[in-house]
Amino acid sequence: MKVRVSYGTAIAMGLVNARMMAKPTTAYLMTYWPGRCRNDCAFCAQARSSKADWEKLSRVTWPVFELDEVLEALPKGSFSRVCLQTIDYPDLVEDVLTLISELERAGLPISISITPVDDNVLEEFRERSVDYIGVGLDVASKRLFGKLKRGLYSWEAMWDFTERAVRTFGRGRVFVHLIVGLGETDREIVETMVQAYEMGAEVSLFAFTPIKGTPLESGRSPSLERYRRLQIARYLVEKGYSMETFAFDGDELKGFTISQDELLRILPTSVFATHGCPACNRPYYNERPKKEPYNFPFPPNRGYFEEYITRLLGSR
């Protein structure tokens, strides 16, 4: 059996000889299928109609290895968790269950990002070593969802799956993935975050990355300033702050109705870091290493954080 391994994970395990700027704390793996996903997301290299390099997911390369080779090398990475990404294809569930059985030998907790599956499958995941589920909603706008997520699952089906996954795994153990920069408004993405948290799910933010060979190859990544505001908004939604906390100009998030001093008091520096399952840091998933990351793999220092908040709010 074969499996894909993210480039950084492969380096950490010694499967690839290269340098790392930040070590992944989770082993990121992906199901192997000798073809493309049967869904057709306009931004994804794995999509059915994509002409992109099929070894990529976002900007990351995922080389293929034999599963036995990966299992042997896994302890060398000193990981705290395994995250299994999936593309959609026939017999996906059977492959995932086989991979779980093999990966359990490593003694690590397992997260799975997967398209909607039946409740009995979720129950079987939970009875194994799986303790977190990722839901690739991706598009935060119902208005755009059908145009950009052309596949087997509707906006309503993705939310139904989220609700069922929360029911099976518990509140706070399901992560809804949202990609900033697909044409959604700030108001739409904040309202979608509110919907997820009210349902008992968490939210992981990603930045749109244009990939050559996809329909959105000529698109633009979001500005860092916009992304930072939405990272702060995600944290405030998580902590139960109402929509009145967000200062919108039309549908654009310009700032917050609470003071800068109060924000600095309540915000941890981790608000600008990767927010995902325990031990998830996703180094440079969205950005090139020489650029400031949208999601820091580790929380930035307090001095930088306070200076950035001051500049960000001053830019109103």
Report the C-alpha dihedral over residues 137, 207, 6, 33, rounded to 10 degrees: 40
pLDDT of the residue at 268: 97
The CB density around residue 266, as the number of other CB atoms within 10 Å, is 13
Q: Using alpha carbons only, what angle is made at residue 133 by residues 269 and 224, rounded to the nearest 5 degrees?
A: 35
pLDDT digits (tens, 9 = 90+) for 220-252: 999 999 999 999 999 999 999 999 999 999 999
Model confidence at 316: pLDDT above 70:
no
316 vs 254, 305, 310, CA distance in Å? 6, 18, 11
pLDDT above 90 covers a percentage of the chain that reads 89
Model confidence at 58: pLDDT above 90:
no
Percent composition of the chain: helix, strand, coil (DSSP 3-state, to 5): 40, 20, 40
Looking at residue 154, its amino acid is S
Closest CA to 106 of 73, 134, 136: 73
Q: How confident is the model at residue 313 (pLDDT cuts 50, 70, 90)?
A: confident
Which residues, in sequence order, are CB contacts of 307 under 8 Å at separation 6+? none
Question: Are 247 and 257 within 8 A, CB to CB?
Answer: yes
Average pLDDT over residues 259-278: 96
Question: Are 133 and 122 within 8 A, CB to CB?
Answer: yes
Q: What is the largest CA-CA distance in the chain?
A: 55
The owner of tokens 């930045």 is: 207
- Helix or strand holding residue 30 (H, E): strand 26-31
pLDDT digits (tens, 9 = 90+) for 23-48: 999 999 999 999 999 999 999 999 99
Q: How confident is the model at residue 286 (pLDDT cuts 50, 70, 90)?
A: confident
Average pLDDT over residues 83-91: 96
Average pLDDT over residues 254-258: 95
pLDDT of the residue at 56: 67
Mean pLDDT of the chain: 94
pLDDT of the residue at 281: 95
Question: DSSP code of 144?
Answer: H
Average pLDDT over residues 143-170: 97
Question: Distance (Å, rounded) from C-alpha 8 to C-alpha 17?
Answer: 10
- CATH number of the domain bearing residue 36: 3.20.20.70
Domain count, the chain: 1
The CB density around residue 16, as the number of other CB atoms within 10 Å, is 16
The owner of tokens 């039946």 is: 118
pLDDT of the residue at 232: 97
Q: Bigger pLDDT: 316 or 30?
A: 30
pLDDT digits (tens, 9 = 90+) for 100-141: 999 999 999 999 999 999 999 999 999 999 999 999 999 999
Average pLDDT over residues 78-93: 97
Q: How confident is the model at residue 61 (pLDDT cuts 50, 70, 90)?
A: confident
The DSSP secondary structure of 162-212, one letter per residue, reads HHHHHHHH-TTSEEEEEEETSS--HHHHHHHHHHHHHHT-EEEEEE----T
Question: DSSP code of 6?
Answer: -
DSSP, collapsed to helix, strand or coil, labels residue 97 as helix
Model confidence at 180: pLDDT above 70:
yes
Structure tokens at 38: 């049967």
11 vs 24, 50, 108, 247, CA distance in Å? 10, 27, 19, 43
Average pLDDT over residues 13-22: 90
Which residues, in sequence order, are CB contacts of 144 under 8 Å at separation 6+? 182, 183, 184
56 CB-side CA count, 13 A:
19
- Determine the structural domain holding residue 156 and report its residue range: 2-314
pLDDT of the residue at 19: 86
Model confidence at 315: pLDDT above 60:
no
The owner of tokens 């080389």 is: 63
DSSP, collapsed to helix, strand or coil, labels residue 31 as strand
Q: How confident is the model at residue 182 (pLDDT cuts 50, 70, 90)?
A: very high
DSSP, collapsed to helix, strand or coil, labels residue 40 as strand
pLDDT of the residue at 91: 95
The CB density around residue 112, as the number of other CB atoms within 10 Å, is 23
